[in-house]
Amino acid sequence: AATEAADVPHVEAVAQASRSAASAVAKRAAQDGCSPAEVAKAAKVAAKAGGADDEKAGHMAAELSAREAASKAMEEGKPVDVGAAAQEAARGAGVPPVEVKVVATKAAASVVARSLAREGASPAGVAASTQQAALAAGATAE
């Protein structure tokens, strides 16, 4: 048990390194004009090189691809397209149909929240717009 506890920081460090590498590669691929599928493929290679197993690398790559597509839509001044862009990227990254809305919702909400917070929107404004982005990306209102 002592060895397992000692391994936890190492496992977390490997996971963080893998995610950081995949995120940087996804961002670069998106900036270079790669398609969402190409962004996901590049991110997956980086995640695996960073130590992630195949399943985790694939999931991480899909999330990053969706986030980059959503970011691009937001930067182009098309906040209404953020959810659709994230869904399209998730599909292109090979996300199973039942998970597309979940991946797209997380990506769209994250991008909108960060963008509006950077622009100085009020906390209530950030929350309302983030909720709208999540709903537009496929989330269901409770």
pTM of the entire structure? Answer: 0.81
Neighbours of 53 (CB within 10 A): 10
Domain count, the chain: 1
Environment class of 82 (CB within 10 Å of its CB; exposed 0-12, middle 13-18, buried 19+): buried
Tell me whether residue 125 is in a domain: yes
Residue 55: inside a domain: yes
Provide the domain limits for residue 117. Answer: 2-136
pLDDT-derived band of residue 26, with 50, 70 and 90 as boundaries? Answer: very high
Whether 35 is in a domain gets the answer yes
> Is the model more confident about 58 or about 9?
58
Q: Is residue 141 part of a domain?
A: no
pLDDT, tens digit, for every residue of 109-135? Answer: 999 999 989 999 999 999 998 888 888
pLDDT range class, residue 8, cuts 50, 70, 90:
low
User: Do the domain assignments include residue 16?
Assistant: yes
Instruction: For residue 92, name the pLDDT band (cuts at 50, 70, 90).
Output: confident
Q: How far apart are CA 98 and CA 88, in angstroms?
A: 14
Asked whether residue 142 is assigned to any structural domain, the reply reads no
> Per residue in 59-73, pLDDT tens?
999 999 999 999 998
50 found inside a domain: yes
pLDDT, mean of residues 23-31: 95
pLDDT given at position 118:
92
Any domain includes 79: yes
The whole-angstrom separation of Cα 120 and Cα 101 is 28
The pLDDT of residue 24 is above 90: yes
